[in-house]
Structure 1
């Protein structure tokens, strides 16, 4: 049974078995009980997880054709497929679970925000992203790549950059390199006034990242507090903890 590649869905299928195995190993070393794969495509890594009888496995796939292909090629997948976009899917398990995927590049940031919505139940994420996005998620303060997604993810997850993936590991080869990262719940989550204030501050600060913080966030702090030294910095110089602490002073 054949399938076609759909550019509109950002499809690039992994064909390098050694890369597949490295991703699978990174998942299995966490001993997941429940696992959801985002965008299984033609089953490059799915086939490995279907062999693991101890894992309660589900896969979320939007493309009708891939659903038919997977059901035909891997009969054991029956009942494990969720036929939806991951962005529209309901939480797949009632208990804690792990997420894995060769994430479609066109929605990879949105996938991470969805994971953040489910953070109370997500034990671990092993994901392949466009390299630039993977580096951004893992980036530390003072780095040009450090931005909104770095801060929002790192407030709740410890990020480990695992390895690069060459374009030729895919069919068709994308125009960019890829990177695989692992997220695990942060050992300590910084105290913040509220998640809403934290998100608002981070997004407002980085929307004018070249300016001094004082100029970018003027509207959300009392005027007398803006003389504080920290506002002489630019957004990329603040740690996750700095942003969290500042939320207590917001209007």
Structure 2
């Protein structure tokens, strides 16, 4: 299938890079988004992505989301091809000095080259951080990328976040983490952005009869697990090291996760 030409649609029209709307998005750090992979004009977990956008709109703007319009713009941007798709909701009229003033949200749909499935395993560094307003996928991404940069400067690939008190594991910079104890998949319970890929894997594992548990996981417990993995919209990636602790890439776990990821249907973007 053809890869789409990069395109940016603002409320369904070609976005003007010099326009006031995009300047507002760049200068006012207030909005929310979702990201997904599209193949042949189809994507997995569309209901979850729209649930995320719907909740973000209510919390940030007290406004409903015109889901039919947004879905049409997504299909327009993808043009039936393969791409990485991002839907960002902001408001060019938002004024931080009057945050309660009602404004009409704007929707920027961006299609770019499709992201390949991650091929290399991850070595991650534990860093103390909890994202603010973790229930929303908001545009305040500075601390995520700062911590990733700091981890890479220390010789790792990425950062894994824990709280500063109980050292409970929450999530990675732009991914969720799961652990394998040889019998079940354990998902850390902590304030974090619950990703669509994580939720789709949970549904797929349940459908395939794989045991799962959601509970707090501390750094001290990590040696008891046999393997770990990261997941986001780009796919599943083995985590082979957390600080000085090494994990093998377990073929059994990889097969279970591949089967779970394939469980969700690919749905057409066109309404």
Same-fold call, TM > 0.5? no
Question: Is the strand fraction higher in 1 or 2?
Answer: 2
Q: Which has the higher contact order (CA 8 A, sep 6+)?
A: 2
TM-score (norm 2): 0.26
TM-score (ref. length: structure 1): 0.28
Larger helix proportion of the pair: 1
